[in-house]
Structures are given as C-alpha cells and as structure tokens.
Chain A
Amino acid sequence: MGVDDRRKFLAYCLGGIAAVAAAGIIYPLFRYLSPLSSQLESSKVTIPEGAVREGEANFFQYAGSAAVLVHHPGGALVALSAVCTHMGCIVQWQKDRQEFFCPCHGGRYTSDGAVISGPPPRPLPKLPFAVANGIITVG
C-alpha cells in the first residue's frame, strides 16, 4: 500500500467516524425538536349535550388542532375540523347566517362544512362522534 493509498484509507476511516458522530448528534436533536407524540395523538373529547344550544357552535381542541361542534336547529349535530382548507386559518361561526366564514381570505362554508364561496378547495373534514347519556364524545 503506497502513501497515497494509506492517506485515502485514513481519510475514509476519519470520514466514517465523523459521519457516525454527526448522526449521533443529529438524531437526538431531530427527536428533541420534533413535536411531542402526546400533542398529535387523537384522544377523545367529551362535551355535555346541553353545552351546545340549537343554532350555536362550540369550538374545542382536538388532536392538537381546532374543531367545532354545530347544533343545527331541529337537533342534528355535526363535528367538523375548524381549520380552513385554504390556508389553515380557523373559521368563525356566524350565528345569524348559520355558516362558517374564514376571515383570512373570505372563504365561506355551510354549517355542514360544504364550501359556499371563496378560495377553499375542499369542505371542512367531518369528525366522528357519538352521543350517549347526554354526553357527546368526539373521536
């Protein structure tokens, strides 16, 4: 093995050690700065049935994001994601018009989450829920 070959071999060895050391620093750093798993898990949220009156909407935190429960006149309930499908702003409930409005770019949705007008490309995603013994369980 010549001098150049030995130099190359040593350089590869050092490069390998440096790569392992870098991985040993980068992996813990990446895990440290990643969102905590508990913040992303979709745990169930319970709301008393009486807390949402007819014609009103109740906003709450769900799976680390914003959600809304709408009580339609007549008694029907619907649970939706409150995150606008356009740019991720939180939609606002307009009680007098019984629809959602996104103040960021003027997107409008029906109380069921369907797009009425404006830039949103998709309806608001529906969330699963169940009602039992006067308790609404979302998730």
Chain B
Amino acid sequence: MSIMRRIFRWLDVRIGAGEIIEKELTGYLLPPNINIWYSMGSILLFLFALQVVTGMLLLVYYVPDADKAFTSVTAIMNRVPFGWLIRLCHVIGSNMMVLILFFHMLSVLFMGSYKKPRELNWLSGFILFLLVMSLTLTGYLLPWSQLSFWATTVTTNSVGVIPFVGQYLVEFLRGGVLVGPPTLGRFFALHVAVLPAAVALMVGVHLFLLKRVGISAPPFGCAETKNTWQGESYRYEAHPGGIPFFPDYLLQDLTSIAVCMACFFALLFFDPSIFFPKDAFIPADQFRTPEHIKPEWYFLANYQTLKLFPSEIIGLAVQGVAILFLALLPFIDRGAERHPLKRPLFLLLSIGGIMVWIGLSIWGHYS
C-alpha cells in the first residue's frame, strides 16, 4: 500500500474522509449543460485569497502613518526585493476581482439564476459586491499619494449632499473636517481588518446558501427553461446524471483560473503602470489640488453621473435607486422564465443598462 493510500486510510477510519469526498467532490453532481460562466465564483475565491496573501505581505513593510505611508510604499516598490511584484499583484488583483465580479453578476442575471428560491444567494452576492467596492475605496487612500488623497476627498465629500445628516456623515467618515491622518487610520482599519472579515463571513454565507439550495441549471440546451419551484416546501435542486465536481468541473475551474492569471500576468509584466496615473507617484499635499482627478475605471460611470445632474443630490439619488433596484431584483422580477431570449423586456433593459454604464464610463474617462 503506497504512503498516500495509507495516510488516506488513516484519515478515513477516523473522520470518514472517503464519505466527505464522495458527498462533496466526486458525488457532488453539477448540471450536464453547465458552462464556463459557472467558474467565475471559483476565480473570485482564488483572487480573494491572492488579495489576502499579498495584503498580509504588504503589511510587513507598509506604515499606516500619514508622514510615512507614501515613503513606505515607495520603498516597497523600489527598495524591497520583489516588493514591486507583491504590490502590483495586489493592485491588479483588486481590479481583476471587480471585473470578474461584474462577469459573475452578469452571468447570474442573464441565466436568471437569481430567481426564486435563490433570492438570498443574490442578496448575499450583492452585499459581497458592495463590500468589495468598499475594499477598493478604502485601499485607494493607503498609499497616501495625491491621487489617493484627492480621490478620497471627492468620494467622501459626495456623502455630504444627504439632507440633514450629510455633513456629519462626511466628518464621521473622515474622522475630521478634511481628509487627514485620522482618515488614514480609519480606512486602514477598515481595509485590513473589518472589510476582509466581513467579506470572508459573507463568502461563507454565500457558499452555505449555494450548498443548501443547490446549483441552478443553465437555461440553455434544454426544453424546459422555466423555473419549476412553486414555493410549497424546501427543495434541494439535485442533478442526477450530471457531471461530478471532482475531477471534471474542478478542471474547468482550474482552466478558468489559469486563463485569468495569464491575463493578470500579461498586465503585470507588459503594462505595470496601467492603474497608476502620474498623481499616484506624488505624495499627498493637502494644499495643492491636482487637475483632472479621476476615479478608478469601475467608478467612472458614477463620477460622470454626478457631473450630469445639476443637483448633486439628484445624481446621488439616481445611483442609490439603481443600486437598490439591482439589490432587490429577485423580488421585483418574479417571472418564471429564465432563458434570456424569452425575456425581451429584461434583455432590453439589461443590455441598455450595460451600454449606458459603458457609455458613461467612456464619457467620464474623456471628460
């Protein structure tokens, strides 16, 4: 008996490892018509792990002090061996995470997987989306560059238009009247402790719901594309005769992760400064506002929307309504049909929404 078999046998008789593998891996059957879009969640888990590891490594040299933060980041990039690699992995990883998150949400939208009984899956995923956006926002300030400082000034300032409590909220977020050392302390704590813990918790909830409700079958390549669950009792959606998660779909997950990492490293090695405009290389100066300060690509549409409306509160309210609409979509769109081509209104609204978002982002970039 080989050493690996002996270790497995030792574990199996103690904790029933074979039963776990049968139930969770080889016997965990997925829909036979499953497609590549179902591997987005695995890519996201991988990227989140990468962010946690590279974030921990950055903490070895990063100093969360307004006088030293920029110097410490510069030292990581220029003096610490392979510091540039760790930081670029963290920066590109965050952008990639947002992009794959968009793909994941779009695939769920187009395949109607958010519909009952998966309302909570969607809601927990949407909370994860908001948490990831908050992570990118708080992480943006930490290098304490002109870009970080003024982007945070503009972002936190936009909360001020909320009637009655707006100004207090701005000061609460910043820890003072203006962005300064107290803001760095708050954002640092949120970025390295509070938000990652919240993301880990919500990932747990999301996966728990996925396991309890069962994975949804894609509405493609089958005669019945309508939701069959009537809501009378709890039902686990099994897929008898489907493909096993291990080794079949795990191989697809690993392939998707490999493709994603190929793009990741292509960016890292061939265009390393893609996410660094020139203001990212200048230390923060609270008395010198740079010209044309722009947010990251995923906030450009929000930035342009705020500029479009004459009143800032209307611009903010429109975005709030859009976010609320998306968060509550499973409770609004209650139709049983899941195939996108059989949902013309959904198709029109979603493609229109995506076009508007891309258009606003491009406009925001060139404005």
B231 at the interface (CB under 8 A from A): no
Q: How far is the CA of A28 from the CA of B82 in the complex (A)?
A: 6
With a cutoff of 8 Å between Cβ atoms, the chain A residues found around residue B81 in the complex are 28, 31-32, 34
* Contact, CB under 8 Å: A32 / B79: no
Min CB distance, A34 to chain B, in Å?
7
A1 at the interface (CB under 8 A from B): no
* Contact, CB under 8 Å: A36 / B86: no
Q: How far is the CA of A36 from the CA of B60 in the complex (A)?
A: 12
* Contact, CB under 8 Å: B82 / A31: yes
* Contact, CB under 8 Å: B60 / A33: yes
With a cutoff of 8 Å between Cβ atoms, the chain A residues found around residue B80 in the complex are 32, 36
Within 8 A of A (CB), among B11-27: none
* Contact, CB under 8 Å: B82 / A36: no
- Interface majority SS (helix, strand, loop, mixed), chain A: helix
Which of A28, A31, A34 has the most chain B CB within a 10 Å cutoff? A28
Q: How far is the CA of A91 from the CA of B185 in the complex (A)?
A: 37
A-B residue pair count with CB separations less than 8 angstroms: 22
Q: What is the total number of residues of chain B having a CB less than 8 Å from a CB of chain A?
A: 9
Q: How far is the CA of A36 from the CA of B57 in the complex (A)?
A: 15
With a cutoff of 8 Å between Cβ atoms, the chain B residues found around residue A32 in the complex are 57, 60, 80-83, 85-86
Interface string of B69-111 (1 = CB under 8 A from A): 0000000000111110110000000000000000000000000
Min CB distance, B203 to chain A, in Å?
23
Min CB distance, A64 to chain B, in Å?
15
Q: How far is the CA of A32 from the CA of B83 in the complex (A)?
A: 6
Interface string of B50-82 (1 = CB under 8 A from A): 000000010010000000000000000001111
Q: How large is the interface on A (under 10, 10 to 19, 20 to 34, 35 or more residues)?
A: under 10
* Contact, CB under 8 Å: A28 / B85: yes
- Interface majority SS (helix, strand, loop, mixed), chain B: helix
Q: How far is the CA of A33 from the CA of B76 in the complex (A)?
A: 11
Within 8 A of B (CB), among A13-53: 28-29, 31-34, 36, 38
Q: How far is the CA of A34 from the CA of B80 in the complex (A)?
A: 9
Q: How far is the CA of A29 from the CA of B53 in the complex (A)?
A: 11
Which of A31, A32, A33, A34 has the most chain B CB within a 10 Å cutoff? A32
Min CB distance, B83 to chain A, in Å?
6
Min CB distance, A28 to chain B, in Å?
4
Which of B60, B82, B86 has the most chain A CB within a 10 Å cutoff? B82
Q: How far is the CA of A33 from the CA of B60 in the complex (A)?
A: 8
Min CB distance, B3 to chain A, in Å?
16
With a cutoff of 8 Å between Cβ atoms, the chain A residues found around residue B79 in the complex are 36, 38
Q: How far is the CA of A32 from the CA of B334 in the complex (A)?
A: 53
Considering only CB atoms, which chain A residue lies closest to B85 in the complex? Answer: A28
Q: How far is the CA of A38 from the CA of B80 in the complex (A)?
A: 10
Min CB distance, A27 to chain B, in Å?
8
Which of B79, B81, B85 has the most chain A CB within a 10 Å cutoff? B81
Q: How far is the CA of A131 from the CA of B82 in the complex (A)?
A: 41
Q: How far is the CA of A39 from the CA of B212 in the complex (A)?
A: 54
Q: How far is the CA of A32 from the CA of B53 in the complex (A)?
A: 13
Interface string of A83-113 (1 = CB under 8 A from B): 0000000000000000000000000000000
Could you tell me which A residues sit within 8 Å of B by CB distance? 28-29, 31-34, 36, 38
For this complex, 14 residue pairs linking A to B, each with C-beta atoms less than 8 Å apart, are A28-B81, A28-B85, A31-B81, A31-B82, A32-B57, A32-B81, A32-B82, A32-B83, A32-B85, A32-B86, A33-B57, A33-B60, A34-B81, A38-B79
Given A32-B83, A38-B79, 14 other A-B residues pairs in contact with their CB atoms under 8 A: A28-B82, A28-B85, A29-B57, A29-B82, A31-B81, A32-B57, A32-B60, A32-B80, A32-B81, A32-B82, A32-B85, A32-B86, A33-B60, A36-B79
List 4 tightest A-B contacts by C-beta distance, closest first: A28-B82, A31-B81, A32-B82, A31-B82
